[in-house]
Amino acid sequence: MRHAVRNTGAVVGLAFALAALAISPALAVSLQRFHAARDGQDIEISAPRADILRVRIGRSGLPEDASWAVVDAARTATTPIDVADDGVASVLTTPALQARLNKSTWRLTVVDPAGHTILADTDSGALDFHNGGFRLRKAMPVDAHYFGLGDKTGGLDRRGQAFTLWNTDAFGYGESGDPLYKSIPFVLGADELGHAFGLLLDNTWRGFFDFGKSERDTLSFGAEGGPIDYYVLAGPDAKAVVKQYAWLTGAAPLAPMWALGFQQSRYSYKNEAELRDIADRLRADRIPADVLYMDIDYQDRNRPFTVNPKAYPDLAKLFADLRGMNLRVVMITDLHVADAPNAGYSPYDTGKAGNVFLKNPDCSDYVGLVWPGNAVFPDFSRSSVRDWWGGLYAGFHAAGAAGFWNDMNEPAIFQRRDRTMPLETVHHIEEPGFAARTASHSEMHNVYGMLNSRGTYEGLLKIAPDERPFVLTRASFAGGQRYAATWSGDNSSTWNHLKLSIPQLINLGLSGFGYAGDDIGGYGGSAPSPELLTRWIEIGAFNPIFRDHVATDKPRQEVWVHGLEQEAIRRRYIEERYRLMPYLYSLAEENSRNGMPLMRPVFLEFPDVLAKGWDFGGTMDQFMLGADLLVAPPSAMESPAAYGVRLPGAGWYDYWSGLRLAGAATEEIPALDRMPVFVRPGAIIPRQPLVQSTGETPKGALELAVYPGDSCRGELYLDDGVSFAFQRGAFLRQKVTCASGQGGVTMTFGGREGDFKPWWNGFTIVLHGWTASNATAFLNGLAVNVVRDPRMQTLTIELPDISSLSVLQIGA
């Protein structure tokens, strides 16, 4: 077997020569890209950065080097790799990993500098080609667990299951339904020692991931066509993988703060009076809320970008009035354009004039049946078409709509058994970085929804360059977090769907989509019981996106529908979310920097729970909101049986009482009004006075709830919540730490970064876990007043606003 090594980087001639000489390790050569060929196949291995390996394989020449998922700067980056030849294998080394490529079999093994295997091909048959598609096989160690793939059903761990990547309008999907709306070919693997790696297959075709289901101990993945182009992210731990993935595919831009508020939706509030009623009731009942949705019935005959003037006669007035109540409106704008020539329907007319629609193989426009009846479909893989699409938002934006909802973008087609368009439908790729060419729907299907939301996002940015767009999309692909938030589609009003939402949202977060939610209360099925809707709201209050939404044929599902007693419980949880807004918002800001999801599996913060063999951090249902709050819903939510909560380590605090727990586990009785939440010892959590909307400025002091423990820290982040002024310095960032010792606690306030002026007039420090019988406090050496509550074991200290380095010394 011939094995030629060639460098596609700078030192081609040298590498050629060394390959011919069969170099020894001592004669390692530094390359930007390693290239080998055998039997007509080509392989290229590069390291976009030292801890990420990229592998491309082609059957006849390397595949096109282009991507919808990976950002250009990451895809084209290379870091030097030392390449040596030990006779059997080419040995490729970076400071963070080493890859061995067997010269005759091309079996690839990636290890870390300590020799621990990150990811290795199976011993034999590691790559098969069949019918234009391929399957790669990696060994699955017994102690490895797999996460990611977006909101696929099943438990948190993908091990033992297999999934299809094919965006699907999965209305009424069951607890193990697959495929669903999104395809995110990214997996995070973690073993029981806490080693973690990532694997991204950058291929848009119908694909699959099989975690030892069809072949024992084998992780196989592949696609029906397209390039073999995958990345191995070397970790070494799960947080590092999340950051590496964000570096490759981009982090979600910081959302407007209002997107973190409570959102009320329904298919549909059929007219202006209904929508105003909802707004009035939210305010009358003092249910904090930020967003109302307008689903398809506001439109004229379901035609996107039209309004039925009888139902909604004056959008601008409506939106202005609602804004006066601190409520914003998100409008649905599906991507199917009604096939309505000569009807004065401008999306069709301008689209037709610009020849923007997808084609049948005979060059006619492809027509499919969706909500408006026959419809045509924009070709979002042409950047000029995305520009045209983005321009369609000018009118609704000018009227005052705050955000947009891109639904049905798998794309969903009603009349066909496969629920989508024929695979031969013709797309045109006209995109910087890609060769201009036609592409079949087989290739473009899985990215179609993402490109739809990209057109929307980028269009909104052009219309209002200093306003953070909010786009909600149903279908997407790896990297889609750069353009839109998402939700898990048409779930059902069942306890099992509520339970399922937790691993779905956690895995979406690990797959880049930090902003993810589900239809609170359930979309389809029969109406939720009062208890189910209440629990759903309690859990949703700790999810990144918090939207109550329900299908058209179902009864009302707003917070108040089951009477005062249920409403009071629900209100308390929604209020708590608003009190936690400073914490939530700082998580969103962190997500925008490094991809860290807002909602996290426990093992992301506490990798040793994997070693303990816990179900990835306590029960399968536990999750973290940020690094500090652990939410522990009942494990059998509908049953009144007591259940155990396992906490990673001792000394946690009960969030609601603020009291410190004695051990590392508690027994919970699932009273309907209690959602157990615990605080990490060492957390400093900012909370604000209650407001009814993020549009309302809180009054008074910012509370800093301090829960002493190891690595005690908190971070404040604030900006105007809506514009990009934070990129120009109008933000506030401040680190606060605390240390316990010598019978006291010392809090250190760092200096403030940024020049944004906060709303608060001071800090209220609430120190938890104080058991001594007296207390004193000194701010920078000067005594300050302390109020001790022995029953709640708290100290409360009112301070002025502190913006420069300061020390608060608390002692007995």
Place of tokens 């951090």: 617
Asked if residue 407 binds ligand GLC (CB under 6 A), the reply is yes
Shortest spacing between CB 492 and ligand GLC, in angstroms: 12
Closest CA to 736 of 769, 702, 784: 702
Give yes or no for a contact between 574 and 537, defined as CB atoms under 8 angstroms apart: yes
Shortest spacing between CB 295 and ligand GLC, in angstroms: 5
Q: Which two tokens stand for residue 552?
A: 């058209």
Shortest spacing between CB 573 and ligand GLC, in angstroms: 23
Give the separation between CA 138 and CA 217, rounded to whole angstroms. Answer: 9
- The residue among 173 and 231 lying less far from ligand GLC, judged by its C-beta, is 173
Asked if residue 719 binds ligand GLC (CB under 6 A), the reply is no
Asked if residue 548 binds ligand GLC (CB under 6 A), the reply is no
Residues of span 484-513 touching ligand GLC by CB under 6 A: 489-490
x-or-dash string of contact with ligand GLC, 444-473, rule CB under 6 A = ------------------------------
Q: Which two tokens stand for residue 315?
A: 């959008």
Query: Cα 592 from chain centroid?
Result: 11
Q: Which of 42, 224, 272, 410 is catalytic?
A: 410
Residues of span 204-223 touching ligand GLC by CB under 6 A: none
Shortest spacing between CB 545 and ligand GLC, in angstroms: 13
Q: How many CB atoms lie within 10 A of CB 663?
A: 9
Shortest spacing between CB 497 and ligand GLC, in angstroms: 14
Which residue in 163, 205, 267, 652 binds ligand GLC (CB under 6 A)? Answer: 267
- Residue 780, CB-side half-sphere exposure with 13 Å CA sphere: 9
Q: Is 490 a catalytic residue?
A: yes
> For residue 357, what are the β-bridge partners?
378
- The residue among 153 and 218 lying less far from ligand GLC, judged by its C-beta, is 153
Q: How far is CA 249 from CA 201, 252, 635, 812, in A?
A: 12, 9, 34, 51
- The residue among 135 and 474 lying less far from ligand GLC, judged by its C-beta, is 474
Give yes or no for a contact between 78 and 48, defined as CB atoms under 8 angstroms apart: yes
Give the separation between CA 447 and CA 436, rounded to whole angstroms. Answer: 17
Shortest spacing between CB 153 and ligand GLC, in angstroms: 16
Q: How far is CA 483 from CA 205, 212, 409, 469, 513, in A?
A: 21, 33, 14, 9, 10
* CA-CA-CA-CA torsion sign (686, 691, 693, 699): negative
> For residue 332, what are the β-bridge partners?
405
Total number of residues binding ligand GLC (CB under 6 A)?
Answer: 10
Residues of span 170-199 touching ligand GLC by CB under 6 A: 171
Asked if residue 295 binds ligand GLC (CB under 6 A), the reply is yes
x-or-dash string of contact with ligand GLC, 322-361, rule CB under 6 A = ----------x-----------------------------
Asked if residue 149 binds ligand GLC (CB under 6 A), the reply is no
- The residue among 475 and 775 lying less far from ligand GLC, judged by its C-beta, is 475
Q: Which two tokens stand for residue 469?
A: 């767009």
- The residue among 269 and 578 lying less far from ligand GLC, judged by its C-beta, is 269
- The residue among 519 and 715 lying less far from ligand GLC, judged by its C-beta, is 519
Residue nearest to ligand GLC (CB): 267
Give the separation between CA 596 and CA 242, rounded to whole angstroms. Answer: 6
Shortest spacing between CB 537 and ligand GLC, in angstroms: 18
Length of the chain: 812
Query: Cα 13 from chain centroid?
Result: 45
What single string gives the DSSP state of each residue in 15-62? HHHHHHTT--GGG-EEESEEEEEETTEEEEEEEEETTEEEEEEESSSP
Shortest spacing between CB 372 and ligand GLC, in angstroms: 11
- The residue among 392 and 604 lying less far from ligand GLC, judged by its C-beta, is 392
Shortest spacing between CB 325 and ligand GLC, in angstroms: 24
Q: Which two tokens stand for residue 724?
A: 């990009």
Which are the contacts of 85, defined by CB distance < 8 A and separation ≥ 6? 5, 18, 19, 22, 23, 24, 25, 91, 103
Q: Which of 169, 272, 490, 576 is catalytic?
A: 490
Residues of span 81-140 touching ligand GLC by CB under 6 A: none
Shortest spacing between CB 324 and ligand GLC, in angstroms: 27
3-state secondary structure of 17: helix
Q: How far is CA 218 from CA 148, 205, 207, 399, 727, in A?
A: 17, 22, 16, 55, 46
Q: Which of 42, 297, 379, 407 is catalytic?
A: 407
> For residue 207, what are the β-bridge partners?
165, 223
Shortest spacing between CB 578 and ligand GLC, in angstroms: 25
Q: Which two tokens stand for residue 334?
A: 């599906």
3-state secondary structure of 523: coil
- The residue among 211 and 513 lying less far from ligand GLC, judged by its C-beta, is 513
- The residue among 296 and 718 lying less far from ligand GLC, judged by its C-beta, is 296
3-state secondary structure of 717: strand
- The residue among 339 and 407 lying less far from ligand GLC, judged by its C-beta, is 407
Which residue in 296, 375, 500, 738 binds ligand GLC (CB under 6 A)? Answer: 296
* Conformational region of residue 331, where left means phi above 0, alpha means psi within -120 to 50, and beta covers everything else: beta
Give yes or no for a contact between 599 and 516, defined as CB atoms under 8 angstroms apart: yes
Query: Cα 749 from chain centroid?
Result: 31
Give the separation between CA 52 and CA 158, rounded to whole angstroms. Answer: 23
- The residue among 304 and 390 lying less far from ligand GLC, judged by its C-beta, is 304
Q: What is the dihedral of CA 297, 303, 304, 308, to 10 degrees?
A: -50
- Residue 773, CB-side half-sphere exposure with 13 Å CA sphere: 0
- Helix/strand/coil (H/E/C) assignment for every residue in 447-508: HHHHHHHHHHHHHHHHHCCCECCCEEECCCECCHHHCCEEECCCCECCHHHHHHHHHHHHHH
Q: Using DSSP bridges, classify how beta strands 629-631 and 677-679 pair: parallel, antiparallel or unpaired.
A: antiparallel
Place of tokens 């730490």: 737
Query: Cα 437 from chain centroid?
Result: 31
- The residue among 486 and 619 lying less far from ligand GLC, judged by its C-beta, is 486
Give phi and psi for 564, each to the nearest 5. -65, -40
Shortest spacing between CB 555 and ligand GLC, in angstroms: 15
Q: Is 407 a catalytic residue?
A: yes
Q: Is 410 a catalytic residue?
A: yes
- The residue among 199 and 331 lying less far from ligand GLC, judged by its C-beta, is 331
Shortest spacing between CB 489 and ligand GLC, in angstroms: 5
List the catalytic residues. Answer: 407, 410, 490
Binding site for ligand GLC (CB under 6 A): 171, 267, 295-296, 332, 407, 474, 489-490, 549
